[in-house]
Amino acid sequence: MSTTNDSLRDMQARLRQFNRERDWDQFHCPRNLAMSLSVEAAELLECFLWTRDDESIPAAKQTAAAEEAADVLICLLNFCERANIDLPKAFADKIEKNAAKYPVAKARGSREKYDAL
State if pTM tops 0.95: no
pLDDT in tens, 46-98: 998 888 888 888 788 899 999 999 999 999 999 999 999 999 999 999 999 99
pLDDT at position 4: 57
Q: What mean pLDDT do residues 94-116 have?
A: 93
Report whether 72 contacts 42 (CB < 8 A).
Answer: no
Every domain of the chain with CATH number 1.10.287.1080 lies at 1-85
Rounded Cα gap, residues 43 and 10, in angstroms: 26
Q: For 102, which DSSP code?
A: S
pLDDT in tens, 4-50: 567 998 999 999 999 999 999 999 999 999 999 999 999 999 998 88
Q: What share of the chain is helix, strand, coil (3-state, %, to 5)?
A: 70, 0, 30
* The CATH number fitting domain 1-85, selected from 1.10.287.1080, 2.60.40.680, 3.30.70.3270, 1.20.1730.10: 1.10.287.1080
